[in-house]
Amino acid sequence: MDLDLSHYYKQVMASYKSPSQLARKVTEKWASDNLYCPKCGRSLNQWSTNTPVYDFYCGHSDERIIIVPEHLPNNIENFQLKSQKHQFSNYVLGGAYRPMVASLNAGRHPSLMLLYYHQQKFEVEDVTLIHRLSITLSCIKARKPLSSQARRRGWQGCVILLDQIPAAGRIEVVENGNILEKAAVIKSWNGVTKILQGDLTQRGWIADMMRCIDRLPANFTLSDAYEFETELAKLHPENMHVRPKIRQQLQVLRDRGYIRFIKPGRYQKII
């Protein structure tokens, strides 16, 4: 993996003058040449220009996909690239709110590639993958609809709250200019895939419970987990029995290898 962007700038500067278009093409070309599928390790394929939402995909074989994304088989991994010249804050812009929720419900939302590059040094500094299964309704915040004077009046966008993603769902590929081992990335990715199985409601509970556990020490108690009861009740107002649900989710996370039971009421993190 080559973190130098300078030669990519030289390739596209003759065709693009807008700084935003230039940056987009440079980072797309870099990602196409250097990033890989975190599930199988193969090189990524790039969707044609202007394909909505999706930028890259992997079918886990050497065959290229020639059908449109809406009709893809379930084994296709899709990725959306988001790049910027400063560190990502605690959120990234999403698309339209209602289609975003619909894509989550249908299981079509792509995983995110968050690429931060140093503009003066022309180098990639950080690449973080956000596993699509870790993006749940708790992570999506609707924005205020556009005013009646706006050209797209009434349109409502959203943001993806990165601080609502469990730590395991944020997988580093490049960190502070250091390239992580591909085998470690693949292991982390497939571990999250195993843990976050289920429909959107099931994944929402699992991911929210994981995020709560992130804030606990390596060894914690059931009483510690109960401290998040009010927070989880707000995130899942349809559930009237939050404490039993917390116990259930701890059992799920134990069975899926995220935590282990030490003795009744005591747990230990594994991942």
Global pTM value: 0.92
Q: What is the pLDDT of residues 6-53, one digit of tens each?
A: 999 888 877 777 888 888 999 999 999 999 999 999 999 998 876 778
pLDDT at 69 over 60: no
Q: Quick one: pLDDT at residue 166?
A: 98
> To which residue do tokens 């998040």 refer?
228
The most confident of the ranges 45-54, 113-122, 164-173 is 164-173
| Res 74: pLDDT | 65
Superfamily assignment of 6-181 in CATH? Dam replacing family, catalytic PD-(D/E)XK domain (3.40.210.30)
Residue 244: predicted pLDDT: 98
Structure tokens at 27: 């980072």
Query: What integer is the mean pLDDT of 106-126?
Result: 93
Query: Strand 91-96's sheet: what is its strand order?
Result: 91-96, 157-161, 140-142
The per-residue pLDDT of the chain, averaged, comes to: 92
pLDDT, tens only, 123-144: 999 999 999 999 999 999 999 9
3-state secondary structure (DSSP) of residue 207: helix
pLDDT tens per residue across span 213-264: 999 999 999 999 999 999 999 999 999 999 999 999 999 999 999 999 999 9
Q: How much is the pLDDT for 17?
A: 75
Q: At a CB cut-off of 8 Å and minimum separation 6, what does 148 contact?
A: 154
Give dist(CA 24, CA 213) in Å, integer: 36
Contact 1, 14 (CB under 8 A): no
List residues bridging with 157 in a β-sheet. Answer: 96
Candidates 1.20.810.10, 3.20.20.60, 1.10.10.10, 1.10.340.30; CATH matching 197-271: 1.10.10.10
Q: Domain-by-domain residue ranges, the chain? A: 6-181, 197-271
Half-sphere exposure of 128 (CA within 13 A, CB side): 17
Domains 6-181 and 197-271 share a fold: no
